[in-house]
Chain A
Amino acid sequence: MSNPQIEIQLIAAVVAIACAIPGVFLVLRKMALISDAISHSILPGIVLGFFITQDLNSPLLIILAAITGIITVVLVEWIQKTGLVKEDTAIGLVFPALFSIGVILIAKNANDVHLDVDAVLLGELAFAPFDRLMMSGIDLGPKSLWVMGVILVITMMLLLLFFKELKVSTFDVGLSSALGFSPAILHYGLMSISSVTVVGAFEAVGAILVVALMIAPAATSYLLTSDLKKMLMLSVLFGVFSAISGYWLAHWLDASIAGSISTMLGLVFLMVYLFAPNKGLIAVMYRHKQQRIEVSLLTFLLHLNNHNEEEERHINHLQEHINWQKIRAKTVVDLAEKNNLISINNQVVSLTEKGNNFTSIALEYIITNKDEKIEHLKDDFFLFRG
């Protein structure tokens, strides 16, 4: 590994951590798309800053762009407050307009601006190590590493200082304002940090990847845990893992680093989305299927309980009566038989003693609708699932 390679990975990792932390709060506060809006609408701020400073890494540029980001948030909220359009429409109206202004500003001054919209949108991490921070002749490392490092340190400090306040205001706005933490200050604080992070990161990784780095790790870890601290930790982990593995994917394919980092983020998310215990797609679908069968079983038993006539309990009749398809009917009957809830005599189904008890308790639950009745049901009558 050469020196620039290590530096690129280091920058990618730092950006990933710096994005993951505000990202968690944005996802939890249902404001994930604000990051998308900010990342686009800082363009005019960057362009204006660039006109003034002629330097893509100057602090003034970052401040100007961050202010544009905050203006975006304020504008969006102002439009929401007028009640003329729904909230998501407000986001969708503001950022394309600001972005267009940025694009036009660049296009009109194309001759004297060395700034490319593609570069802003997509970034080029591979060039980051060549822009060095020199101080009195000493090479201190890549500039963007310093910029992102400072942003990360500030974010970490604010997170540690205000963790409790952020946590309360994220999960219970009413409680937090009752306790005396101003939701507005925390809200705008979070927005400012997000803007600054987006601005700091855009040059290295581009505006779109910033969105990916903010939302994807947070969403991935949200599927795995509901503990805020664990979620933060997991997000950082996923972010860094995708950043490093993405770099090597890009190296291997000779393609855009930003693109391959988001591809890695996407793969990690897809894996977790499919296979997460409890909240993953497969777990959820399996649970739904089980619940469907359990409800069917209950319906079936209640039907038997209601009817003494033999023709109502004939196994062929059940299909048309409860309107089940063949396979479903068979699954339910098999399950009931396996659990000794029914017995089948000469094609006529009847409840066993256990089945009778089970049904009467279930009936009591349905009538009283008290949760504690159903809680014990499964323990008392242990069910073997098919």
Chain B
Amino acid sequence: MTITEYFNLLFTDYTLRTITLGTAVLGAICGMLGSFAVLRKQSLLGDAISHAALPGIAVAFLITGAKDTNTLLLGALVSGLIGTLWIRGMTKKTHLKSDTALGLVLSLFFGFGMLLLTYIQKQPNANQAGLDKYLFGQAATLVESDVLLMLIVTGLALAVMLLFWKEFKILLFDADYTKTLGFNTKFIDITITFFIVLAIVLGLQTVGVVLMSAMLLAPAAAARQWTNKLSVMVFLAAVFGAFSGVFGTAISASQNNLSTGPVIVLVASVFVLFSFIFSPGRGLLFRQLRFRRNRRDLELKKTLQFMFGIAETHADISHPHAIKILNNFQGFAKTSLRELEEKEWITLNKQEWALTEKGFVAAKTMFETKEDNE
């Protein structure tokens, strides 16, 4: 199946439509909430929570014995929340740093989850197969009710976000100030974290435990490069997330043997890479260009200063000098000479240069006023 065939099938094929819609919605909610995680320096919280959700799935299965998606996700939600609260407790009550706390919860919960999963697999219960899909996720297992659940949660998250927009925003940028204004920071904090956990749990079925953190981070990190405004960033992150979901699904559907999760993550990573390089404000490309322009400007001024120094000692300021004498100091470049000529500050004649009247005045205002100031 090629990509064009995929887009043709999108509107007729039930499975394909469900999966595409599901990954798009998932990408959007992850991007939206991920913006908060990234700005709160909790980028890796997602990684820890998604791993911490695994024992919850196993315990939910052990208790109910059923493979109902919603029950399992409820278990994941509970154990994800326990993990989050433990991380908070550890960093607040002991001197362990947040990276250690995250790493501990991540690996210990996951290990415990594995113990339970392998234990379940040995049980004489034919129902257990398929629990391990939560490790890497299987977008193909999405059904309409899953997408409906995602849509409901997204709507809920969006409503809460709009309702508490002001509080979320102020807590994000100045937690102490928020407290002095009398807001219940603990409540706002827990609300944001709760929704982040919820988004992660929803994504487990589609992209799996291991790659879920990237779904949360990548769209937000990409969106951050294009704007300094929170509302624009949240919107852009949601758009990037949704597009990663759609493109990822399209690519993986058009090839054999490609699981959706990793492809979505790679597409999102491409978004990030593109934003890192090409964003006009912060991007590396434009930063490098700005850097070069500044350096050339500096070189040009250094050359002019040197010329001015020589011209000052002569009665005739436009007395020609050899270009060769410019060679022995830093900052001299053929391009800056040409640029000086374009500005009509100097005249070039074969191997010699001469300062013009205009150039002399420009240099005088540039360098002599500076000396006065000193």
Residues of A within 8 A of B (CB): 27, 30-33, 35-36, 40, 79, 82, 84-86, 88-89, 91-93, 96-97, 99-101, 103-104, 107-108, 110, 117-118, 121-122, 208-209, 211-212, 214-216, 218-219, 222-223, 249-250, 253-256, 258-263, 265-266, 269, 273, 279-281, 284-285
Q: Which residues of A contact B99 (CB under 8 A)?
A: 30-33, 88
Q: Which residues from chain B contact A218 at a C-beta distance below 8 Å? A: 100
Per the bound structure, the CA–CA distance linking A263 and B262 in Å amounts to: 28
Q: Which residues of A contact B217 (CB under 8 A)?
A: 89, 92-93, 96
Cα A31 to Cα B44 in complex, Å, equals 13
Chain A CB within 8 A of B213 CB: yes
B61 at the interface (CB under 8 A from A): no
Determine if A118 and B132 form an interchain contact, defined as CB atoms under 8 angstroms apart. yes
Q: Does B246 contact A (CB under 8 A)?
A: no
CB distance from B233 to the nearest CB of A (A): 12
Q: Which residue of A lies closest to B95 (CB)?
A: A279
Residues of A within 8 A of B221 (CB): 84-85, 89, 93
Residue of B nearest to A265 (CB): B108
Instruction: Determine chain B's interface SS by DSSP, over half rule.
Output: helix
Task: Report B's interface with A, CB cutoff 8 A.
Answer: 38, 41-44, 46-47, 51, 89-90, 93-97, 99-100, 102-104, 106-119, 122, 132, 135-136, 210-211, 213-214, 217-218, 221, 224-225, 257-259, 261-263, 265-266, 269, 272, 276, 282, 284
Residues B100 and A215 in contact, CB atoms below 8 Å apart = yes
Residue of A88, A121, A256, A280 near B115 (CB, 8 A) is: A256
Instruction: Report chain B residues within 8 Å CB of A85.
Output: 38, 221, 224
Instruction: List 14 additional contacts besides A30-B100, A223-B94, A254-B122; criterion CB under 8 Å.
Output: A79-B276, A85-B38, A96-B210, A96-B214, A103-B261, A118-B132, A223-B96, A253-B115, A253-B119, A255-B115, A262-B108, A265-B108, A266-B108, A281-B94
Given A96-B214, A104-B263, are A255 and B111 neighbors across the interface (CB < 8 Å)?
Answer: no
Counting chain A CB atoms within 10 Å of each CB, which of B122, B136, B217, B218 scores highest?
Answer: B217
Contact, CB under 8 Å: A82 / B272: no
B44 touches A259 (CB 8 A): no
- In the complex, what distance in Å separates the CA atom of A371 from the CA atom of B116? 53
How far, in whole Å, are A179 and B41 apart by their CA atoms in the complex?
A: 34
Chain B residue nearest in CB terms to A104: B262
Cβ-defined contact, A92 with B103, below 8 A: no
Given A32-B103, A93-B217, A117-B136: A100 touches B225 (CB 8 Å cut-off) = no
30 A-B pairs, CB-CB below 8 angstroms?
A30-B99, A33-B102, A85-B38, A92-B217, A96-B214, A97-B214, A97-B265, A103-B261, A117-B136, A118-B132, A121-B135, A122-B114, A212-B104, A215-B100, A215-B103, A216-B107, A222-B96, A255-B118, A255-B119, A258-B111, A260-B111, A262-B108, A262-B114, A262-B115, A263-B112, A269-B108, A273-B94, A279-B94, A279-B95, A281-B89
Q: Is the CB of A208 within 8 A of B100?
A: no
Q: Which of A40, A107, A284 contacts B257 (CB 8 A)?
A: A107
A219's nearest neighbour on chain B, judged by CB, is B100
Residues of chain B with a CB closer than 8 A to A89's CB:
38, 43, 217, 221
A273 and B90 within 8 A (CB): yes
Taking CB atoms, residues of chain B closer than 8 Å to A36 are 47, 103, 106-107
CB-CB under 8 A for A104 and B258, given A215-B100, A253-B119, A258-B111 = yes
- Known A-B contacts A84-B276, A255-B122, A258-B114; A97 and B107 likewise in contact (beta carbons under 8 Å): no
With contact pairs A121-B210, A285-B93 given, residues A82 and B284 touching in the complex (Cβ less than 8 Å): yes
The one of A86, A99, A262, A280 that contacts B210, using a Cβ cutoff of 8 Å:
A99
Q: Report the Cα distance A250→B106, complex, angstroms.
A: 20
Whether A96 and B265, one on each chain, are in contact in the complex, defined by CB atoms closer than 8 angstroms, is yes
A218 to B117 alpha-carbon distance, docked (Å):
27
B296 to chain A, nearest CB (A): 22
Q: CA A319 – CA B259 in complex, angstroms?
A: 66
The verdict on A212 contacting B111 (CB below 8 Å), with A30-B99, A84-B282, A255-B122 known, is yes
B220: shortest Cβ distance to chain A, in Å?
8
Point out the residues of chain A lying under 8 angstroms from B44, CB to CB.
33, 88, 91-92
Chain B: CB-nearest residue to A211: B107
- Identify which of A91, A107, A258, A260 gathers the most chain B CB atoms within 10 Å of its CB: A107
Q: Which 5 A-B pairs have the closest CB atoms?
A: A262-B111, A259-B115, A96-B214, A259-B114, A212-B107
B259 touches A92 (CB 8 A): no
A32 to B108, CA, bound (A): 14
B43 touches A86 (CB 8 A): yes
Q: In the bound complex, do residue B51 and residue A208 qualify as a contact, i.e. CB atoms below 8 Å apart?
A: yes
Q: Which residue of A lies closest to B220 (CB)?
A: A89
Known contacts being A88-B44, A91-B44, is A254 close to B107, with CB within 8 Å?
no
In the complex, which of the residues A32, A93, A255 contacts B100, with contact meaning CB atoms closer than 8 Å? A32
Contact of B258 among A35, A79, A107, A216 (CB under 8 A): A107
